[in-house]
Amino acid sequence: MADLAALYIDATIDAFQANRKLTEKAVGQLSDEQLRTAIDPEVNSVAVIMKHVAGNLISRWTDFLTTDGEKPWRNRDDEFVDAFQNRREILDRWELGWSCLFRAIHALNADDLAKTVMIRGVPHSVPLAIQRSLGHTCYHCGQIVQAARVLAGERWTTLTIARGDSQQFNEANWGKG
């Protein structure tokens, strides 16, 4: 079981890292102003979504195995207010959330996967709590990428395989069309 646990934890880390990398490539294509521009009055800006993701990760992954994932000191409503002074503050907050996640998840072992943690007073198996966090984070990473794509407009550089290039990509990478 220890091997399976290690595979699960490694796969989870890989999924988080892949979504983070994709998101950061998208964010890198935006100007400082675009980072803070909502594409619709009912949609959060990229900066606000990043702030929310960071706040969620910090809350969920601080003392992950020993305290409720919804910390009493978390001010979730404030996560949806852009009070940043500059891009550096946005990126620093983002980094803080990811650092908290990776520090906690790297510390997990096979025995930890059999434990139960609480999120808002509801018991979750550790794998369920991990999947909940992964799903939530990936959902918002997708929002960020989509908003960045719209905001970047003609300047956008594709993050994955460009439309119409699948066959060429497949042939170049593994010889299949």
Instruction: Summarize pLDDT for 93-145 with one digit per residue, the tens.
Output: 999 999 999 999 999 999 999 999 999 999 999 999 999 999 999 999 999 99
- Looking at the DSSP bridge assignments, the partners of residue 125 are 116
Virtual CA dihedral for 151, 154, 156, 158, nearest 10 degrees? 130
Segment 19-75, tens digit of pLDDT: 999 999 999 999 999 999 999 999 999 999 999 999 999 999 999 999 999 999 999
By the 10 Å C-beta count (0-12 exposed, 13-18 middle, 19+ buried), 85 is classed as: exposed
Tokens coding 122: 């509801």
Q: What is the CATH number of domain 2-174?
A: 1.20.120.450
Band (pLDDT 50/70/90 cuts) for residue 91 is very high
CB atoms inside a 10 Å sphere around CB 26: 23
* CA separation for the pair 144, 161 (Å, rounded): 18
User: How large is the average pLDDT for residues 82-90?
Assistant: 96
Q: Considering the entire predicted model, what is its pTM? A: 0.93
